[in-house]
Amino acid sequence: MDQHAKVYIAGHRGLVGSAILRKLTRDFDTEIICRTRQELDLCNQAEVMKFFAEKKPEYVFLAAAKVGGILENQTYPAKFIYENVMMQSNLIHAAYKYNVKKLLFLGSSCIYPKLALQPIKEEYLLTGELEPTNAAYAVAKITGIQMCQAYNSQYGTKFISIMPTNLYGPNDNFDLTSSHVLPALIRKFHEAKINHLPNVEIWGTGKPRREFLHVDDLADACLFLMDIYEGNQPINVGVGKDISIQELAALVGGVIGYSGEILYNCAMPDGTPRKLLDIAKITDLGWQSKIKLEDGIANTYQWYLNSLANHRT
């Protein structure tokens, strides 16, 4: 990617988009274009087309998405599928119409079959039933990947798709009604600590296993792949090892300094039993993650504490 190129980050205030923005700002001399949701409605095709016609970005990171945890996915499936399909469709089509040199689409590891063989290879996509608790979101993301492939095939575009594992880091969502597991644990343990609560309740059995990638590592992978990868097939991005939710809870509790009891509410859903990505393809290309999980949790907890302090002031 040209160091002086015009780069548009869709979703620059989100977890992934903000990490890409930090990386670009620190390491590149590009002209970065960003718009808030109030300035540009990505679900509005006319607005998106006008924006691309005026700004003519050369590279696009499509990190904008409607995301959430199990509860929000189950409660608002129509909202998840509608908003994600609309945003993706408008941005991918506009990128084609206005001759974007390269677009990187952010998929998700949750689009793989619920009972996929482990570790999950890219070719396992669409080989089995999805996890019901996030099926609407997964179908939307699969549609985005298929769109990139179709436009590459029909129009000769260079639209690549990546499938990151579970992400965490600065600018994560810590709302307990809509967050993913790791930020939810950070908030629960922090509040239990400061309120001297005797226990913390966690949804499910704690047995499912998950892989966690710090979002700054993902941003590094995005820039790496934008530079060298031109394959039509999506590519996994992860750390290559997983951890049970029970082990994760103990790790988060240790970082935060909470010593109370951890209770598991087995009446709540576990979700997919295991989700570990096969990262052989990106490893063979020469990339690997750098941030250890414990260090990343400590970094994220510090960011959370700072955000609470800033909110109070």
**pLDDT score at 73:** 84
Residue 13 annotated as part of some ligand binding site: yes
Domains and their CATH numbers in the chain: 6-168+211-239+277-292 (3.40.50.720)
**pLDDT score at 168:** 97
Residue 166 annotated as part of some ligand binding site: yes
**With contact defined as beta carbons under 8 Å apart, do 6 and 160 qualify?**
no
**With contact defined as beta carbons under 8 Å apart, do 5 and 33 qualify?**
no
Residue 210 annotated as part of some ligand binding site: yes
Residue 79 annotated as part of some ligand binding site: no
Q: Strand runs (DSSP E) across the chain, as ranges?
A: 6-10, 31-33, 59-62, 102-106, 159-164, 166-168, 199-203, 209-210, 212-214, 235-237, 243-244, 261-265, 274-275
Q: Which residues form the catalytic set?
A: 137
| Nearest to 73, CA basis, from 124, 126, 14, 139 | 139
Residue 165 annotated as part of some ligand binding site: yes
Q: What residues have CB less than 8 Å from 89, skipping those under 6 apart? A: 45, 143, 147
**pLDDT score at 306:** 96
**pLDDT score at 313:** 53
Q: Indicate the pTM of the whole model.
A: 0.94
Residue 286 annotated as part of some ligand binding site: no
**pLDDT score at 255:** 97
Helices then strands (H, E): number in the chain?
10, 13
What does each of the 313 residues of the chain score in pLDDT, given as a tens digit?
787 899 999 999 999 999 999 999 999 889 999 999 999 999 999 999 999 999 999 999 999 999 887 778 888 999 999 999 999 999 999 999 999 999 999 999 989 998 999 999 999 999 999 988 889 999 999 999 999 999 999 999 999 999 999 999 999 999 887 788 999 999 999 999 999 999 999 989 999 999 999 999 999 999 999 999 999 999 999 999 999 999 999 999 999 999 999 999 999 888 778 899 999 999 999 999 999 999 999 999 999 999 999 876 5
Sign of CA dihedral 136, 231, 280, 121: positive
Alpha carbons 186 and 189: distance in angstroms, whole number: 5
Alpha carbons 146 and 168: distance in angstroms, whole number: 26
Q: Is 236 helix (H, G, I), strand (E, B) or coil?
A: strand
